[in-house]
Each structure stands twice: as structure tokens, then as C-alpha cells.
Amino acid sequence: MPPRPRPSLAAALATALVAALLVLLPGSTTARAAPVLLSQGKPATASSIEGAGTPASAAVDGDNGTRWSSQFADPQWIQVDLGAAAQLSQVVLHWETAHARAYRIELSTDGSNWTTAHSTAAGTGGVQTLDITGTARHVRVYGTQRATAWGYSLWEFQVYGTTDTGPTLPGGGDLGPNVIVFDPSTPGIQARLDQVFQQQESAQFGSGRYQFLFKPGTYNGLNAQIGFYTAVSGLGLSPDDTTINGDVTVDAGWFNGNATQNFWRSAENLALNPVNGTDRWAVSQAAPFRRMHVRGGLNLAPNGYGWASGGYIADSKIDGQVGNYSQQQWYTRDSSIGGWSNGVWNQVFSGTQGAPAQGFPNPPYTTLDTTPVSREKPFLYLDGDDYKVFVPAKRVNARGTSWGNGTAPQGSSVPLSQFYVVKPGASAATINQALAQGLHLLFTPGVYHVDRTIQVNRPGTVVLGLGLATIVPDNGVTAMKVGDVDGVRLAGFLIDAGPVNSPSLLEVGPAGTTTDHAADPTTVQDVFIRVGGAGPGRATLGMVVNNHDTIVDHTWIWRADHGDGVGWETNRSDYGFRVNGDDVLATGLFVEHFNKYDVQWNGERGRTIFFQNEKAYDAPNQAAIQNGSVKGYAAYQVADSVNVHEGWGLGSYCYYNVDPTIRQEHGFQAPVKPGVRFHDLLVVSLGGNGQYEHVINGTGAPTSGTSTVPSTIVSFP
């Protein structure tokens, strides 16, 4: 093999001088983010060395004329032990010619368990200055793809930060004033329920947030009416541990019998004996009904039937019939029902015992015998007098509930002492410190403004919200990012865009990751995204999923069509949901009103079971939505590069009320390949306000006239 070219010592010194200037120049990013060089002279180890003259220690000796170099193979790593935990802010890599094309910066507190702080598949070599966030004692560069035929070689590997990590944050503690806990002997339960409902019934964009928790036992004669930003849950390990002889009710009296705006509320982990034999849960988006046992029927329509726009049931048992009535669409997963009445446009079932037979489009039932992969949402419960969070296990080809039949639930319990209980006023820096300490997060009800990204970088971290806890990013930051790690659980909170445009609001995994997470995927459940409505909000992209194998189980990603701060450019947000990872599964995907594509799917082997969409109402004219030569942006686009993708029960609606003459080429766009398959698609023009010319690509009949009749496709291609 011919000898490799080497930079001259002069070149190396010039590189060092440039790096020094980067550190010293006033106002530079490095000066702000890298106050102290922590790595120099510290113990370093590596996966391999090229020879005795290129040890790992040479990369942390402060000498730009010495270097570490690995053997000529992938993968390789070098790591440094800082000697104590430090709050990190920056890593600077001085690469030799033999540099990394793809690599990760990984952090660890113990030298064994690693989280990803930075990942790239487009490394350029030279001097790379990387801003990172996290607390760690051990830092490593993990190379997965070489840029040359040689190994990996670093003149210097520099880690900056501070050893002043602040006082250790405590876990556990009280749940704050807006978590209201009852036991069967609590006086005045109905009065307290009524007081909160009176405040929250019509507070669609208010700041109030409430969580009701019922300790195990039996409660008599209650009617818990559930308004905006209100969640009600039982504290047993099984729904049958907490019985209400009464109702948990959502109706639409506040909106004259129209339930299409009954958003942002939930019921979970309770058994109900409805007073009149049937409970009422008349909701639309972002109102999950999880882990419930209704010992009777369930009515999904408001009093007088009215209108309703779709919802979600999971892991629940309804002994009687579910009355669908006016619900335009609905998704029911891994449940047991006594029957189902009628359907409007799009009713989807997976893993549901008692579900109606496949019948789309007439009746409009899409029925899958099982759910391919599922894992129920984590939930708070009482073990004696101690609060714990139960983290359910993954299920494959699930059917029916995860509880009942006398069997113990599968999963693990985490004591509250291992959670940082986040309360209003907590800063993003404090939240990140808690995560870096190894604590999980339990957000109590409230609105949280964050001036920097919440970084979830530890495998298995649970981030659980109570009472629709709401995170608002300030200064255009991304509200939350998840690292390239296994088993993160995000559940039960709302991210609300701030007035300064964020590039994205939630990122699950770094761009370019290649890690397989199939054994222990990240789950995103009842995590809702909002742009506008409560005030001015802007974000280029709502949620992006980069990590492979992620499960997104019930989300509503919504660019507001009403409320404050609403207008075609006022709450601009071009893209709702983007999937770059492979083997991602979405169960219960609601995405609406984005300026361009609502869903973009770039990863391989993606699957969606149930999709509900409305195109943006407020497009001012045809030109505003024109996509090159195509009329409008599809609601759901699968990239031309994708070879395998599948979807069941997907619907898109248009209501271009500003300019009813707008034509939308199609609701769905996908490459025509044997591995790309769709089942039970529909598009609808609401009252003739705009029209679809096709359902998917150039296939499917156009909608027409003012009658709200779907155009359907049973199978594509």
C-alpha cells in the first residue's frame, strides 16, 4: 500500500491557530459554549491503534503534531475519561486526512451506558466544532464510516464544559396544586369536579391545566364532566381497581351541540357503571380514551347527535355497544367492544375483539385482526401509599386489552423518586440537568416556556405529562429532541409553537442515524403539536421522526384554523409530520392544515393504521398552494425513493372556504411500486369548498358539487 499523505507540521500548526482563534475571538460561538477545556491530559482509550506511535493519549495531549490513528476498519472509537461529571457544551475534533464520514459523539456517566449528543453521516474532516448539551464523565467519538481507505485519525479530541453542574436535583415530591387527588372518603368530590368544569368547559385556548386522580376504590353518584385541558385517571394498576358508579362525560353544550372542537382532554384507567347504562364521550381530535372499562355502552356523539370529527380508543373494554352516530372517523386499537353502530366515512379497528367485519367503503369499516406492534402508554399508579409509573411492555400482533382476565400487566414499574417532578416555572436548564442526572420527567399540569431544547438522551427515559402539560419553545428553538437511544417513552403533553419560528417542534432521533431500535423502540403517545390558536405561533416542521422503529401512537399535529394568531402567513407551518427513519409505525395519525405537505414519509417500510387530515382552510388562492405543475400538496406523500410502505384507512378532506374554486390534484401521492400499498383511501370535499381531482396520484374519481360524498379507493395500486 502506498504511504498516506501527511499534513506538514506547519499545516498542523495553522490548524491549531485557527482553532485557537475560534476559541478566543470575542462573541464567537465557541467562546460562549466552551468555557473550559476539560479533556487535555485525561486518560484516553480507543478501540484500536494503527501502531505504537499513534496511541489514544496522543489525541488529548494538547500537541497538534501527535495523533491517534485506528486500524483500517469500521467501526472504531476513541474515548476520554474526564475524571468527574461535567456539564458539557462543546467538542472540537481536529481530524487528520483519515477522517470520519459518519460518526457519533456519545456521552456516559459510567463508561458503559452511552447516549448520543451529536450524529452525522456527512463529516467533512478538518476542524469540526460541535455544540453539545449534557452532563457526563466519559465522552467518545464513535466512527461508523471512514472517509478514506485508512482508519480514523485525530490530531486532537477536545471536550469543553464546566465541572460546576450545580446541586443535585431531588426526585419525587408532591404533584402540585393542579393535580387533584380523590379517595372514596374525600368530601365534595362532585363540587370540585363541577368547579373545574365550569372554568374549563369553553376555555379552548386558556392557560388552565388540571389532572384528576382517583385512588383505588368505589365512588358513587358522580358525573365527571371533562372540559379543555382536563385529564381524569384512576390510580390502580388495573382499570377495575377504581370504579365510578356514574359517568365520565364529554358533551358539546358549550358549542351548541357541535363536538368538532372538543379537543385536548382524556380519560384513562377507570371502570365506569354509567347511570343510564351508556357513557357519553363526544370528542374530536386529541381526546384519548385509554385503558377504560365501561360496564355498559359508549356514545361518541353529542346530545342531539350533532357533529363530531373523530377520536381514539385504546386498550379499553366496552361491554355494550359503541354508538358511533355522527363521528366522521374513529380509530380503535387493541380493545374489546360489545358492538359498533353505523359509521360516517372512516372507522378503523386493529386488534379489537368484537369489531365489525371489513366492509370499506360501505359500510366504511377497515378492520385488521391484530396490531403489528404496540406498547401502551405509561401511567401513574399507587403501590400502597407510593406513587409509581407503570411502563407497559411491547406487544407484537396484539389483540384485545393488555389487562384483565386475571393476568398481571406486563411491563415494569418506576418509583416516583426516579422522576424529576416538573412544576410551572422550571427552566429548560433545570429540566436538562435532571435528565443528565438520570431522572425521568413528570410534567405537572401547567404551561412551560423553554429557552433551549429539552434533550432526552438516556435510553429508557420516560417523559410523562399530566393534565395536558404544555411546552412552548421561546426564541425559535426546537422544544424537545430525543437522542439515538432505545426505549424512550414520550406521553401525554402538548407542544405549542412560539411566536419566533422554530425549525421543528419535536425531533425523535438525530438526522442520519443508522441504529436499529426494533427490540426497544421509542414510543410517542398522546403527544400533540399545535401551531397558532392560542396566539401567534410559527414552525417550519411539527414533528420529525429520524429514529428507526419508532411507534407514534395517537398524535394530533395541528396548524390552527381558528383562534388567535391565525392566518395563511401568520401561523405559517409548511410541514406537519416527517418520517426519515425506517420501520416506523403510526397508529392513529391526525395531521391537519399545514401550508404544504401534512405528512412526508421518506423512510423505508413505514406503516400507518388510520390517518385523518384536512387541508389548510385558509389558502388565499390556487397559486398559494401550487406545487410546481401539481395542483396542491398531497396530504400524505411517500417519497419516490421508498420501495416498501403500507397504509390502512386513510382519509383527507378539503374545505377551501377562502377560495372555493381551488382544485387539489390528489389527497395522496406515492411511487407506483409492488411494495408500496394502500388500503381503504378516501377524499372528501366539504360542501364543495374546493375539490379533489383524484384520490391518489392520478387514480380515483374526482369529488364534485356541494354534496359531501367521499371518493374512495379500496386498494392501490
Determine phi and psi for 165, rounding to 5 degrees. -90, 5
The CA distance from 611 to 581, in Å, is 19
CA proximity to 445, closest of 472, 414, 417, 424: 424
CB 127 within 8 A of CB 94: yes
Question: Coil, helix or strand for 32?
Answer: helix
| Helix (H) and strand (E) counts in the chain | 5, 52
ω into 363 cis (within 30 of 0):
yes
Pairing of strands 127-146, 76-95: antiparallel
- DSSP-derived pairing of the beta strands 506-508 and 541-545: parallel
Task: Output phi, psi for 403, to 5 deg.
Answer: -130, 175
User: 193 is written with which cell numbers?
Assistant: 369536579
Please give the grid coordinates belonging to residue 595.
401550508
| Cα gap 454→431, rounded to integer Å | 7
435: helix, strand or coil: helix
List the Cα angle 264/265/269 in 5-degree steps: 145
Nearest to 557 by CA among 600, 606, 592, 526: 592
All three cell numbers of 180: 387533584
* Contacting residues for 384 by C-beta, under 8 A, at least 6 apart: none
Max Cα-Cα span within the chain: 87
Give exposure, 570-585, as e/b (b: 16+ Cβ within 10 Å): ebbbebbbbbbbbbbb
507 catalytic, yes or no? no
Instruction: Tell me which of 50, 156, 614, 693 is the catalytic residue.
Output: 614
Angle at 490 between CA 214 and CA 142, to 5 degrees: 150
Report the catalytic residues.
614
